């Protein structure tokens, strides 16, 4: 089937852009991170909005009774082609860092600003309306097409755990929550807590999720002036309100921690510099500060899919106990248990620090010569004119890991200029158009036997 670019990027794109702005206005981030906690009403609201939209398009829809996930089916093919999207977003964080309120989308300088504009609400709508264009123009897929909407991708993935336990798995499909041209490999991801008991006279709190560099931590205790002197000397911003020190860093996606500035790491380094004795202080200052590969502990784990990276997301220290989280992205050919988790456990044990493996996400690996990769690459090169582009490996963990036969396909064009999880998240309007064209043309190839 030939795709009429003018028609696709006319009315269909304008409708997709309008719907993207509507769902950005719904602050669909999780408030209670406890596994099994009720799905927040804002997440239910955006899930209902998308399912209602699919009904209008002629899909058959389903929503889990506990609102963990929903899906919409089109067609009668024996095999199932899935497009897995997520409707939850990461929290907005420090609102003062946003140039415009995060849930009040605005188009400025040919960019759509708002939390979720790129991750993953914009790509979700571009896919949905790309498919709508195809079926309106007579496209008949050989598969039954299923759009799956998850609600906890940014936290614990319990939505897809529930889906996999209760629903039919896809025979083929993709996740528009990675990078272009196509992601042939995704690293292992391991979330680990460092915990321990130690008496101290200060408290530290910061971070909300495992998979984002914490950008604001608070400290209550002695020597605030000395700590600030160290931070100022290293060009780290801080301020004091009501006897509480606030240390500011720069947020970044857990797969790209080197693009951020970890506030907790700088605070612990400052405490170490003034002689504070605490196992977490000494460990982070010596082995974790400005050191996302941590080769002193793990060695060089680099393979064709990249190197190991470590992201600290959450820190909690009180007078008796402490907790410090790591989000590790581990190269595909390595063993997350032997090469990372076990090594870290043995390394920190003499320091009085314990470890707890919170979760391990499976790797994804497709051959670069597989039909799905070759078809996607062909369309990408035709649309963009970039014939040098090659399939890539990433540290990010997408819903492609939730079941077999799924691959991450788009939607980010430049990993080095990522706004996912960042303040003032945006997506370029031209990139939305480009991805819509790529998805529409790829669907005509991927959804036929």
pLDDT in tens, 3-16: 999 999 999 999 99
- The pLDDT of residue 405 is above 80: yes
- The pLDDT of residue 415 is above 80: no
Provide the domain limits for residue 428: 5-186+364-447
Q: What is the CATH number of the domain that holds 198?
A: 3.30.70.360
Residue 416 has what pLDDT? 76
List, for residues 233-275, the tens digit of each pLDDT value.
999 999 999 999 999 999 998 999 999 999 999 999 999 999 9
Torsion from C-alpha of 298, 301, 302, 304, nearest 10 degrees: -160
Percent pLDDT > 90 in the chain is: 94
Same domain, 170 and 294: no
Q: Which residues of 121-144 are buried (b: 16+ CB within 10 A; e: fewer)?
A: bbbbbbbbbbbbbbbeeebebebb
- The pLDDT of residue 361 is above 90: no
**Rounded to a whole number, what is the distance in angstroms from the first to the last CA of the chain?**
14
Same domain, 56 and 182: yes
Distance CA 430, CA 398 (A): 24
Residue 312 has what pLDDT? 97
Same domain, 202 and 220: yes
Residue 132 has what pLDDT? 98
> Last residue of a domain, which of 333, 361, 389?
361
Indicate the number of domains in the chain: 2
- The pLDDT of residue 143 is above 90: yes
Same domain, 383 and 340: no
Q: What is the mean pLDDT of residues 370-391?
A: 95
Indicate the pLDDT class of residue 188, thresholds 50, 70 and 90: very high
Same domain, 355 and 403: no
Indicate the pLDDT class of residue 381, thresholds 50, 70 and 90: very high
Same domain, 301 and 381: no
DSSP state of 168: P
List, for residues 101-131, the tens digit of each pLDDT value.
999 999 999 999 999 999 999 999 999 999 9
> Last residue of a domain, which of 312, 343, 361?
361
Distance CA 172, CA 129 (A): 20
**Cα within 13 Å of Cα(285), Cβ side:** 16
- The pLDDT of residue 79 is above 80: yes
24 pairs with which residues across the strands? Answer: none
What's the mean pLDDT when you consider all of the chain? 96
Residue 125 has what pLDDT? 98
Q: What is the CATH number of the domain that holds 63?
A: 3.40.630.10
Report in angstroms the alpha-carbon separations of 354 from 78, 294, 345. Answer: 50, 18, 7
174 pairs with which residues across the strands? Answer: 83, 407
Residue 97 has what pLDDT? 94
Q: What is the mean pLDDT of residues 382-395?
A: 94
Same domain, 220 and 181: no
147 pairs with which residues across the strands? Answer: 72, 83
> Last residue of a domain, which of 336, 361, 386?
361
Same domain, 201 and 347: yes
List, for residues 19-29, the tens digit of each pLDDT value.
999 999 999 99
Radius of gyration of the chain (CA): 23
Indicate the pLDDT class of residue 409, thresholds 50, 70 and 90: very high
Residue 397 has what pLDDT? 79
Indicate the pLDDT class of residue 175, thresholds 50, 70 and 90: very high
Q: What is the mean pLDDT of residues 76-88?
A: 98
């Amino acid at each position: 089937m030939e795709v009429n670019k003018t028609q696709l990027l006319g009315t269909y794109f304008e409708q997709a852009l309008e719907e993207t702005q509507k769902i950005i206005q719904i602050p669909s981030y999780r408030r209670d991170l406890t596994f099994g906690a009720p799905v927040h009403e804002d997440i239910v609201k955006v899930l209902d909005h998308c399912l209602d939209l699919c009904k209008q398009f002629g899909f058959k829809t389903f929503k889990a009774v506990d609102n963990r996930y929903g899906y919409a089916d089109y067609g009668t093919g024996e095999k199932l082609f899935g497009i897995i999207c997520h409707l939850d977003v990461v929290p907005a964080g420090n609102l003062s860092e946003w140039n415009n309120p995060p849930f009040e989308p605005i188009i400025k300088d040919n960019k759509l600003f708002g939390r979720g504009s790129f991750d993953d609400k914009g790509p979700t709508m571009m896919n949905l309306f790309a498919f709508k264009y195809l079926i309106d123009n007579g496209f008949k897929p050989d598969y039954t097409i299923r759009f799956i909407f998850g609600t906890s991708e940014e936290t614990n993935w319990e939505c897809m755990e529930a889906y996999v336990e209760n629903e039919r798995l896809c025979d083929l499909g993709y996740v528009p929550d990675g990078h272009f041209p196509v992601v042939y490999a995704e690293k292992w991801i391991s979330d680990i807590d460092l915990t321990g008991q130690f008496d101290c006279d200060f408290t530290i709190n910061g971070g909300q999720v495992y998979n984002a560099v914490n950008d604001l931590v608070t400290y209550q205790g002695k020597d605030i002036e000395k700590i600030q002197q160290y931070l100022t000397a290293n060009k780290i911003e801080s301020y004091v309100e009501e006897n509480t020190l606030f240390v500011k860093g720069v947020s970044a996606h857990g797969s790209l921690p080197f693009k951020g500035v970890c506030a907790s790491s700088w605070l612990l380094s400052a405490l170490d510099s003034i002689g504070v004795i605490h196992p977490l202080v000494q460990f982070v200052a010596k082995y974790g500060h400005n050191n996302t590969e941590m080769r002193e502990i793990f060695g060089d784990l680099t393979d064709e899919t990249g190197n190991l990276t470590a992201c600290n997301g959450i820190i909690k220290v009180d007078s008796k106990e402490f907790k410090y989280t790591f989000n590790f992205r581990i190269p595909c050919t390595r063993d997350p248990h032997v090469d990372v988790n076990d090594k870290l456990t043995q390394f920190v044990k003499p320091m009085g620090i314990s470890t707890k493996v919170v979760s391990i996400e499976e790797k994804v690996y497709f051959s670069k010569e597989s039909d799905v990769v070759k078809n996607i690459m062909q369309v990408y090169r035709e649309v963009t004119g970039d014939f040098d582009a090659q399939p890539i490996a990433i540290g990010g963990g997408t819903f492609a890991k939730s079941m077999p036969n799924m691959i991450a396909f788009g939607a980010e064009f430049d990993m080095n200029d990522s706004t996912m999880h960042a303040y003032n998240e945006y997506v370029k309007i031209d990139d939305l158009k480009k991805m819509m064209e790529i998805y529409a043309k790829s669907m005509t190839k991927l959804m036929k036997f």
